[in-house]
Structure 1
């Protein structure tokens, strides 16, 4: 007698499949909110940074991840650039370490 009453109260084996779906709705809602608040903005930021790094040219003024501000003097290869951080002081920097392009310039033409 008592076991049947408890089984009915807990939703026992006669529980409807809709009850289980109703319990999963809050978890699905949390996942959707997490996607729009965390994952999507991070993907957009990564895409913007990749475009920024890809479009750097000689003559642009840039800021590195370490805080150095310099002017691109040469593009070494697809992964490195050369920055002039002071007169006659040049350093090689990985492209991925560029945080911001402060000023875009017209492409500098190579002198013969």
Structure 2
């Protein structure tokens, strides 16, 4: 009975750790992967460095971003932080 009593706090701590840290991180990662998979030409985006622009071209690993209509910069697809929805 002592072994069972010692395992309960350990299991409870693992469950709390899972629901407060691991599961939310997995949900965020899945959401980011879905966003990267759904990128399209013409989407307004923000990179992880804070650069705002519009996707001009896209392939499997790289995205060409049009900035201010004059500059075109190439980024890895993973460098896209978010897609801005024009409302």
Tell whether the structures are fold-level matches, with TM greater than 0.5. yes
Q: Show structure 2 runs of 5+ residues with no match.
A: none
Q: How many residues align?
A: 86
Instruction: Give the TM-score taking structure 1 as reference length.
Output: 0.74
Distance in 2, matches of 1:87 and 1:97, equals 20
Q: TM-score when scaled to structure 2?
A: 0.95
Separation (CA, whole Å) in 2 of partners of 1:103 and 1:84: 17
Give the superposed CA RMSD. Answer: 1.0
How is 1:25-104 mapped onto 2 (pairs within 5 angstroms)?
25-75=8-58, 77-103=59-85
Quick check: which one's strand share is greater? 2
Q: What is residue 13 of structure 1 aligned with on the other side? A: none
Larger radius of gyration: 1
Could you list the structure 1 runs, at least 4 aligned residues long, displaced by more than 2 angstroms after superposition: none
Deviations 1:5-59 (Å, cap 9, x if unpaired)?
xxxxxxxxxxxxx111111110110000000000000000000000000000000
